[in-house]
Structure 1
Amino acid sequence: MTQQPRDLAALGTLPDWDLTDLYPAPDAPELAQDIARVTAEATDFAARYQGKLADLTPAEMLACIEAYQQIDITAGRIMSYAGLRYYQNTTDAARAKQMGDLQQTITDATTPLVFFSLEFNRVPDATYDAVFTAADGPARYKPVFDRMRAMRPYQLSDELERFLHDNSVVGAAAWNRLFDETMAGLTFDVDGETLGLEATLDRLTDHDRDRREAAAKALAVIFGRDVKLFARIHNTLAKEKAIEDGWRKMPTPQTARHLSNHVEPEVVEALKNAVVAAYPRLSHRYYRLKAKWLGLDKLQVWDRNAPLPGEPPRLIGWDEARATVMDAYAGFDPKLAELAQPFFERGWIDAGVKPGKAPGAFAHPTVTTVHPYVLLNYLGKPRDVMTLAHELGHGVHQRLAAAQGELLASTPLTLAETASVFGEMLTFRALLAKTTDPAQRKALLAGKVEDMINTVVRQIAFYDFESRLHAARAEGELTPDDINRIWMDIQHESLGDAFEYMPGYETFWAYIPHFIHSPFYVYAYAFGDGLVNALYAAYEAAPQGFQAKYFDMLQAGGSQHHSTLLQPFGLNAADPSFWDKGLSMIEGFIDELEALEG
């Protein structure tokens, strides 16, 4: 039996999800009715519209799109419920079976809809423009279909697209489940305690250096034991992606992500280049400072997120964490706190660390007719408070964007991390403003710098790792040692000369879920951090009226391009100097830390 981390009772009562807003129970008649409804409505939709899209009047096209959106909502509600139940306990065979069965059922039920995007992309430009600009037509949905039509050069035949749709449940989705269930089932022997992944990773931030070392070595033992499995998963998913990209004639492995994010490759390249160029000024410089504070010639990997010497161990109860974040949100605008309040009061957060629970944290938007749910693995560390602020930011963003409707609410990744990182920044700034003790101020600043390095430097390093891994996989099968070498090259480049690396650290790529679930997603974190730094600077420079513009941006969801949404703030992500502004904020915090030394 996996033991729970120590001091869990001191955290107070941690909330669990109440999923009844989706369905009353896993065997509820409402769920069975919705499954039947998706099947019937998808079949009927295809019968009414297949082969006819180019001939629809503007009003008919609007009705068609709204019918499609309704099917999307019902299917999304079903899979959100199955997925959230599964993430609560991925080792529960009944939950895993229900999710697998429903994935198959919904995939089969929605196969008749595959024609929709394919045929839509064959509608002549003149017809498309006329229909989407007519007064009685679907003009408000044009951003969705503009993004869909950007895929036209990469579209396959209808038959092949249907095959890929049907095959998805035994392709990437199956490998994703294998990864999730493997990770959730791992246990680590740490100083005689048997801990799960989250509790073991949490031990890397312990005040006791021996306990941190024991945790790092326990991780290395298990990752090393299972490295062939993780290498097989990465090899298979990278090859599957390369095959599909090849058929679609995608120019790079990253192209699909950029298209789905509605972001230009040159913008992402400017971000990556700016961060890589800043490694010496940010991570290399900061970690040399940290080695000095810890009295070490070299840092070990278990020192990367270590608390500072003299920083008292601090266990933050759930009630205090809630009050800290809610006060910071209300300090910016009471509306922000009001939007966050129901998460705490209505069972929209699942916070505790439990056997089989998915690791990490996320905010799941479910569907626009319900509400988001937040998953945490809350252990009472200061970073856990920032994670709460981060995920609540996502949740608030999702609530605001829901008014756009299902098709327009989803925010491209370029802006998806904006509200979450802004929520963190508000919480940090509120805490910093109240902190006068120099030692506490130093600890708070150092924690923020480390979070920003983890968000910017580490995530761009992850993006670089993925890029190199996919390029290397194109040349042939990768052994675990091949992947280990790519990982270590990136670590040396991004972390600098302050570190030496224990044997076994070369396998730590194995547990990063983003590489499995969302290839090349990770640059969104750095994008969001850089964007928020620039936004926060704009807020400090001209606070009058900022809140209204900020809420307008969040409410827009995916209805506008990032360049349009940033215009009211005088910001332009395509400008290479834009990213340097955000990076200079991190540099300024490091300057302040160095000044505190004197």
Structure 2
Amino acid sequence: MTLQTNWNLTKYFFTGLNDPKLLSNIDSILPLADAFSKKYQGIIKTFSTPEQILEYYADYEKMSHEMGTGGTYLSYLQSLDTQNNAVIKKLGELECIFVEASSKLLFISQEWKELGYDKIMAFADNPLLQDYKNALVSSAANLKYILSEREEFVLNEKSRALGVVEGLREELANSYEFQIELDGEKKTMTEEEIRSLRTSPNRETRRKSYESLRQMYNTKQAQITLGNIYAGIVKDWTSDVKLRGYQTIMEPRNTSEELENEVVDMLMQEVQTAYPLFARFIEAKRKLMKLDEFHIYDVSAPLGQIEKEFSFEDGTRLHLETMKDFDQEFYDYSIDMLESSRIDAFPKYGKRSGAFASYGPGEPSFVLLNHTGKLRDVSTLSHELGHATHGHLSQGQKPAVYSSPLSLAETASIFSEMLLSEKIRKELTTEEYKEFLNEKLSDTFATIFRQIQYIAFEKRVHEAIFTGEELTYHDFNRMWREEQIRMTGESVTYDVTAENESSWSMIPHIFASPFYCYAYAFGNILVFALYNRYQKEGRSFVENYKDILRSGGSKRPKDLLSEHGFDITSPKFYRDAIEEVEKMVVEFEGLVEGK
């Protein structure tokens, strides 16, 4: 196998910004919208046969695919170099075109509304339309949130400004260069590189890493800019909540996730009730590290002074061995990803921080990483390839129901991480196992408990602004610290005052996708349930698991999981997962006593 560690976008898309095929693709967007409008305006509201619905979806899916190709390519280019002004300009031009195209297609939602709930639900029950059942059910459920055509036009037009604001935050953050002195040498790093030092075995390096991040984000200029950007985004969200008549501030997200408000409330309540587990973990870790005081920069620290490095080749080997043991199709698709120039592996200046997987109906998956040689980077590789494989397995669904809601979209990624963890665990010495358990618990608290802390912060901010309060970065700093303390208690010492607590401004999801983060918590809890089933059933479980992934967005999460024996409306579903976390904490506490 020959590893390809850079994207080859030319192979899959276009040769560059001036490629005539790209320009032609962009030029075709408005004519495609016009053609669709000419065929269907005034017709959708008269649909009376399943054949008409099938033809409509076929045409809509074809149009959407052709419209989206150029945008996908440009977004990938920007991920590789967020400072490329030519790409930024072209994306801005494309966004304007999409706003105009969307305005031409506003009649669609209006005519579905005129067709009416009862007729749409009758179509959803028609045997010929079962491939589109969930799309139809979701359309029917969303009718009550659709405004008049004129109102939708106004909201669509103003979305241009919101896109600029969201882009400003990402462009600003990716332009930052972080200064740090290591071993007497001054270095300039990307945010991804500086963040990776938070897991350094050297305590002073960890402290400097946090200090470098804060120096950049705590400047008055950054705080004023990011504070106003965030307040603007929240005001836009809350105005939509009011205009569309949602019952709660989180309901737009819950609706898109196809989760009932009560289910999300239960998730938050059960996790928040279990917050004391985090303080227990921190206290045990403090004792194992022989620290008098446990600081915020110690939370992600390893226990020992020796940090094992993992090259990308090492990580690839571990991931592939794990997938080979689990399922041949998972293994084969990982090989395909690694050999086909669809993984961009290493940090570069200007490259988007973090990691993601991207995929769509009829399209190959792409993965972006920022591998810096940590064990966590190996987990990230498995996580993103899990996403990519999920996208591959869902290809059997119609485009309208291809994408899983975020509440299920994290399933394959987190499950792949858990498989990898068990693979690594079997190869460890006693001392290495202590480190492994520490890291596993750190990740578990980060992906369940901390994500709920993020949501609790967002909820407070959104509800305050919804009721008319004017908030600034000073308020965000204070609220963030209060939610931190709610989770950690007195177990962690924070090294800046609440007035200077700017960590919220480093979380991209609260800007780009409000309330997104509970998907990580839900996904982790679901994976605990799935993994327990796998341990009991072994190989017979694998096909059932793949059936869940193959379903894409064709079923509501509650219904899909119920078919496989999981009741997400029951507190027991969440408590069972939290009990698994507590078992790991008890085991970790036992290490203090040498058990």
Give TM class, smaller chain.
Answer: over 0.9
C-alpha distance in 2, partners of 1:470/1:450? Answer: 28
Question: Offset at 1:133?
Answer: 4.0
Amino acid at match of 2:36: F
SS in structure 2 of the partner of residue 490 of structure 1: helix
CA offset digits 1:349-403 (Å, max 9, x no partner): 11110111111111111x3122121111110100111111111111110111122
Deviations 1:241-296 (A, max 9, x none): 1112111111222010000000011111111111111111x211101111112222
Rounded Cα–Cα distance in structure 2 between residues aligned with 1:578 and 1:101: 47
Question: How far off its partner does 1:460 sit?
Answer: 0.5
2:370 to 357, 361, 377: 377
The Cα offsets for residues 414-454 of structure 1, whole Å up to 9 and x where unpaired, read as 1111111001000001111222x110011111111110000
Q: Which amino acid in 1 is paired with 2:246?
A: M
Partner of 2:245: 249
Counterpart in the other structure of 2:120: 128
Q: Which AA in structure 1 matches 2:53?
A: M
Does the 8 Å CA contact 1:14/1:318 hold for their aligned counterparts?
Answer: no
Q: Is the 8 A contact 2:116 2:140 kept in 1?
A: no
Task: State the 1:34 CA deviation.
Answer: 2.2
Show structure 1 runs of 5+ residues with no match: 1-11
Match of 2:134 among 123, 133, 143: 143
TM-fit CA distance, 1:544: 4.2
CA distance in 2, matches of 1:344, 1:473: 46
Offset from partner CA, 1:207-239 (integer Å, 9 cap, x none): 111111111111111111111111101111111
Answer yes or no: is the 8 Å Cα contact 1:107–1:165 preserved in 2.
yes
CA contact (8 A) 1:206 1:212 kept: yes
Contact 1:291-1:498 within 8 A present in 2 as well: no
**What is the CA–CA distance in structure 1 between the aligned matches of 2:539 and 2:363, rounded to whole Å?**
33
* Residues 1:235 and 2:227 aligned together: no
TM-score by length of structure 1 reads 0.94
Root-mean-square deviation (CA), in Å? 1.6
Question: 1:250 & 1:131 partners in 2: Cα distance?
Answer: 26
Counterpart of 1:326 (choices 300, 310, 320) is 320
1:111 aligns with 2:103: yes
Residue from 390, 397, 402 that aligns with 1:404: 397
Aligned partners of 1:113, 1:32: CA distance in 2, in Å?
A: 22
Query: Quick check: 1:387 aligned with 2:380?
Result: yes
- 1:22 corresponds to 2:13: yes
Q: How does 1:477-488 map to 2 (within 5 A)?
A: 477-488=470-481
8 Å CA contact retained: 1:538, 1:569: no
Q: What letter is aligned with 2:461?
A: L
Deviations 1:7-65 (A, max 9, x none): xxxxx987111113133332222222322333222111111111211323321221111
Deviation at 1:526, TM superposition (A): 0.4
SS at the partner of 1:503? coil
1:593 to 585, 588, 591: 588
Partner residue of 1:314?
308
Is residue 208 from structure 1 mapped to residue 208 from structure 2 by the alignment?
no
Please say if residues 378 and 384 of structure 1, whose CA atoms lie closer than 8 Å, have aligned partners that are also in contact: yes
* Equivalent position amino acid for 1:304 in 2: V
Q: Distance in 1 between matches of 2:584 and 2:323?
A: 22
CA contact (8 A) 1:132 1:142 kept: yes
Give 2:489's aligned residue. Answer: 496
Question: Is 86-95 or 367-376 further displaced after alignment?
Answer: 367-376
Q: Which runs of 5+ in 2 are unaligned?
A: none
2:263 pairs with one of 264, 267, 270 = 267
* Conserved? CA contact 2:46–2:115, under 8 Å: no
TM-superposition CA deviations, 1:542-578 (whole Å, max 9, x none): 2242111011110100001112322343211111111
Equivalent residue number for residue 167 of structure 2: 177
Secondary structure, aligned partner of 1:545: helix
- Alpha-carbon distance between aligned partners in 2 of 1:593 and 1:246, rounded to the nearest angstrom: 47
* 1:150 match: secondary structure: helix
CA change 1:335–1:533 in 2 (3 A) is same
Q: Percent identity?
A: 30
**Mapped contact 1:535–1:569 kept (Cα < 8 A):** no
**Residue 521 of structure 1: how far off its partner (Å):** 0.4
| Structure 2 CA distance for aligned equivalents of residues 166 and 369 of structure 1 | 30
Whether the aligned pair in 1 keeps the contact of 2:132 and 2:398 (CA below 8 Å) is no
Q: Distance in 2 between matches of 1:132 and 1:151?
A: 14
CA distance in 1 between partners of 2:82 and 2:166 (Å):
12
The residue that corresponds to 1:155 in the other structure is 146
SS of equivalent to 2:352: coil
Indicate how the Cα distance of structure 1 residues 587 and 567 shifts in structure 2: closer, same or farther if over 3 A, else same: same
TM-score calculated relative to the size of structure 2: 0.95
